Amino acid sequence: MMTTMDYSVTIILCFLLCFGKVHCYDGRLEERDVQMAEKSNENHILKTVSQCFHVRGNPFVTLYCGSNHMIKINRAFHGMHHQNISRCNFLPGDCMDGDLSPYYDWSNCLGAEHCVKSVKQSWLRECGNYSKYLQIDYQCVKNEEVFDICEKSNTYVTEGYIKSPNYPSFYPIHRDCECNISVSGKSRMLVSFYDLLLEMNGKKCADWLMIYDDDYKDLNCGEIMTGMKNVSWQGPQIRLHFHTDVNNTRRQSFSYNTQRNLKGFWVYFNAEPKDEVLVKCGPTKPKKLQSYTPNPIPKGGVVIAGTASTLPRGWSFTLLLMMTVLY
């Protein structure tokens, strides 16, 4: 039930709204927010490798981070120069294609210490020509900076990473683990998916990673690659629950009928504005779900969630009324 104070606040907010003094959050991330969701630790040096398609022998590129480090690919693209230039890397004004899913399987590079990729060629539709080179921008993340969701931890950080056990190798079966991420201030939590390959049973999740709070659940399984999904969470805390069943399935077909190893997941999190984040991880009890259908990846790859958890009791009606006035 709404109190007299709640009604008063509702009237005041609607009055301000009519005169343009209140800006309602419309569920869209600003460009700065998207950049924050996609950015990595600034202490990691950005590395670049590139190679032309037309070279003698088998053209390839090598990504190398070394022992106790994990490869994180920031960007990979085919490109071509508009002029006849004997360079195998990006130059301002080049025509590029960042959607290389049909040509490369990045899953065996993400999280690895090193990997080698043969350079392929694609048709650049906007340029009306074939690509001339492949370029990859990547960073090296130390293993010690990554939380294992199944290992006990109770640590304050400003940003960090969470992975499944044994990542980038196959994860253990019949496990339930959880990380609780909380902030003390009014910061927004941002979670970016770097890599996720979890078993599906038809269109349902057999193994899954769920990001949730008391009001919203975001269920993930199947295949999610870098840049495909970022979650912006309004609220003081979120939880990541990782579940695996008793099946020992290690490979599965995904997009473009590609067989890929089920290696688990790797995500990045931070608070915006920057704030201390308390991370508590470890084994937990199994959780039964009403539905095992994964949440769809929205257009643009950005999910806005958890706004209800930041509102005082009785304000759901207020928010609904404000949205009605807006539209």
Q: pTM for this structure?
A: 0.78
- Structural domains of the chain sorted by starting position, each given as residue range(s) with its CATH number in brackets: 33-39+145-310 (2.60.120.290), 47-142 (2.60.120)
**What tens-digit pLDDT sequence spans the chain (327 residues)?**
444 444 444 444 343 333 332 322 233 333 333 343 344 445 689 999 999 999 889 999 999 999 999 999 999 999 999 888 889 999 999 999 887 877 888 989 999 999 999 999 999 988 899 999 999 999 999 999 999 999 999 999 999 999 999 999 999 999 999 999 998 778 888 999 999 999 999 999 999 999 999 888 999 999 998 888 999 888 788 999 999 999 999 999 987 767 899 999 999 999 988 899 999 999 999 999 999 999 988 776 788 776 433 333 333 333 333 333 333
Bridge partners (DSSP) listed for residue 155? 279
Q: Count other Cβ atoms within 10 Å, centred on residue 21.
A: 9
Contact status, residue 214 vs residue 238, Cβ threshold 8 Å: no
- Nearest Cα residue to 267 out of 286, 281, 253: 281
Helix 315-326, helix 4-18: angle, nearest 10: 20
Contact partners, residue 286, CB within 8 Å, separation at least 6: 176, 243
Give the separation between CA 205 and CA 264, rounded to whole angstroms.
13
